Chain A
């Protein structure tokens, strides 16, 4: 399988502050890859750089298309859906409107049936479909954010700490659904997680970031079974 996403020498800047220092990694089509690292390591910045939400240099290739220099909305249209840290749902709109917005760039006739599929994945969203997104619980909002991203029918989904603030049971459930989506719908997933143990259970590949650089990479099993890495970088 060829690489779906190839990131080389990625540097990102917030004003004068440099947050990524020549980051390098790649991701295969159909893979579920996780980016791990401590607070402030640059995980969020990496996802933001892919979506042109922070000034960056270097190279990001998505299925052979260079992304740097494109606008966020153009990148989304290539099939990259981003669930930002802190969810990024449209709080003043209803659940159903959020799902429709996820598909706003699509022109096919299957949007309504996709909304039904999302309700099948996340039954609680169906019960709340006329409710304002801002009034959902944290876990429900996270499900909505994921469902909204899937409505794009993305080739690649970027998830920034989907487990943040959720009860362990809800997290399990969410990751089970993500695994299912990854296998059945062939959506490649790049997920940033604080919960390294859980992320490594699900992912096939893992990269560890430290202060804007990749310091470790390997299959999820290798990383999870390497006690040194676990102790020094992942803290469990």
Chain B
């Protein structure tokens, strides 16, 4: 039983990362109806920027805040320069764009910072949390950051005018233009926010997996799995999905014989496919109420 609780808690802790990534995935999906395959690389690149600033002597939270600002601006720029010109292109063109972005960010990071793994500091330390051996202060901090982020997003979308405008632009772009919303900028804003959220995920996970250009590969797949499980239209669902995927991953690794670390990734993929087949809208995805 203790092993079980242990694994569930560890699952919630890793789940926090997937939840952050899934939030970023959902942000972009809401804005452009597509999954951004380069989301993980964007997060990795942001994390390197933070690492570089810390190397230069910037205190952690200063580097954290600066990285968010730069990542936001970078996300907006990527949309304006690369994806806005593709707005009316077929979906495969977009996929090609995502792959190009992936490759560019990955190799530029490799060239600039090389491929050796680097230590990334945790702002929360790694002592046992409240004297418990089950979960460390960093993991507890990660969970807290995820929940704060979710609350902030909820507040933003529910109670600010710009959040309302973004929701309207995502739900019904033509109607949104008819009330005077510049839908194209709303998409750019979505990219900026997704990029900043991804940066948070990157900076939270780097102390656990170490920093290197390929650090986000597996994480992004889990982020996708979480987003699909929660429902691609729901930030709340994405976070719950993240925690569930984290728990599932840990339990499967512990209890299903033969599922070691190597088989964890196929399990995430199997989960994505199962959800898409059984419940395409995910657990919390909104199916819009329509009168007929």
Contact = CB atoms under 8 A, between A and B. Distances in A.
Interface in B133-169: 161, 164-165, 167-168
Nearest to A78: B180
A92 B171 CA distance: 8
Contact of B179 (A53, A71, A135, A148): A148
B286 A51 contact: no
A105 B165 CA distance: 10
Name, among A81, A105, A137, A138, the residue most crowded by chain B CB atoms within 10 Å (CB to CB). Answer: A105
Interface residues of B, number: 22
Contacts of B168: 90, 93, 101, 104
Contact of B178 (A84, A92, A100): A84
Contact of A132 (B176, B180, B182, B289): B289
How many residues of A sit at the interface, in one of the four size bands?
A: 20 to 34
Contacts of B165: 101, 104
Contact of A100 (B164, B182, B183, B289): B164
B172 A105 contact: no
Given A91-B288, A104-B164, A76 B175 contact: no
Given A90-B172, A101-B164, A104-B165, A76 B288 contact: no
B289 A134 contact: yes
Contacts of A89: 175
A154 B112 CA distance: 54
Contacts of A71: 177, 182
A134 B292 CA distance: 10
B180 A152 contact: yes
Interface string A176-198: 00000000000000000000000
B114 to A, nearest CB: 46
A134 B181 contact: no
A88 interface: yes
Contacts of B179: 76, 101-102, 104-105, 148, 152
A105 B180 contact: yes
A77 interface: yes
A72 B178 contact: yes
Interface string A90-128: 111100010011101100000000000000000000000
Contacts of B177: 71-73, 76
A104 B181 contact: yes
Of B164, B177, B181, most buried by chain A (CB within 10 Å of CB) is B177
Interface in B264-292: 286, 288-291
Nearest to B290: A134
A89 B289 CA distance: 13
Contacts of B289: 91-92, 132, 134-135
B291 A135 contact: yes
B182 A73 contact: yes
A71 B290 CA distance: 30
A37 B167 CA distance: 37
Interface string A67-80: 00001110011000
B30 to A, nearest CB: 12
B167 A76 contact: no
A213 interface: no
A205 interface: no
A43 interface: no
Nearest to B162: A104
Given A89-B175, A92-B288, 6 more contacts: A76-B179, A88-B175, A90-B172, A104-B165, A104-B181, A137-B291
15 contacts: A53-B174, A71-B182, A72-B177, A72-B178, A73-B182, A84-B175, A88-B172, A88-B174, A90-B171, A90-B175, A91-B290, A100-B161, A101-B176, A104-B180, A134-B288
Interface of A: 51, 53, 71-73, 76-77, 81-82, 84, 88-93, 97, 100-102, 104-105, 132, 134-138, 148, 152
